[in-house]
A and B are shown apart, each in its own frame.
Chain A
């Protein structure tokens, strides 16, 4: 079975500081990994994905994520946080053998303070 874990319910960071939102995964085949962001009262927006290739993936709004196979992790990062980055972030995984459905983590609330 495929799954992801987001160990932190909330991450707090000061504006201008780097941010990291953690995600670990478990799959039986090759992982396809995704990050989404959800602003209040909105649907989820796609940020970035890892399917194959470079372990460092760049996405929207200055976010990037690093795929680490040995640690089964796919942490979301940004060098300098903005107050407008405050939102709910979801990691998701698709097992290469299991069709198109994604399994989502429980989400991490990011709060960036001025």
Chain B
């Protein structure tokens, strides 16, 4: 069965370190998204991609970057981790079919920045 996976599931890092969170999907979806989930804020869009070599900034992109070198993967990099980036991060993907806009989510990565 097709799926979307994230790794690691849990990560503790120190302020100032660079961190990369992996996202891999086997749906063959063109669209991929990164969100962070924080209490009181729901899900906020960080970055998204509509295909290989395409990346776009979302609502809360400062301090984050993504790259899309193939269809399956969209890694999220925190350039210099800050305590404000402690959060749960979700990756999602969706089909480009106009009738299939729903997104499919990975299990999440809980990141703690100390």
Contact = CB atoms under 8 A, between A and B. Distances in A.
Interface of A: 32, 34, 36, 41-46, 49, 51, 90, 94, 99-107
Given A49-B101, A51-B99, A43 B94 contact: no
Contacts of A103: 45
B42 A43 contact: no
Given A34-B102, A43-B105, A46-B103, A99 B50 contact: yes
Number of chain B interface residues as a range: 20 to 34
Interface string B43-73: 1110010100000001000000000000000
A104 B42 contact: yes
29 contacts: A34-B101, A34-B102, A36-B105, A41-B108, A42-B107, A42-B108, A43-B105, A43-B106, A43-B107, A44-B43, A44-B90, A44-B103, A44-B105, A45-B105, A46-B102, A49-B101, A49-B102, A51-B101, A90-B42, A100-B48, A100-B94, A100-B96, A101-B48, A102-B101, A102-B103, A104-B43, A105-B42, A106-B40, A107-B42
B27 interface: no
B26 to A, nearest CB: 15
A101 B99 contact: no
Interface string B76-114: 000000000000001010101001011111111000000
Nearest 5 CB-CB pairs, A to B?
A: A43-B105, A106-B42, A104-B43, A44-B105, A46-B102
Given A34-B102, A90-B42, A90-B43, A43 B108 contact: yes
Contacts of B41: 106
A48 B31 CA distance: 19
A101 B42 contact: no
Contacts of A105: 42
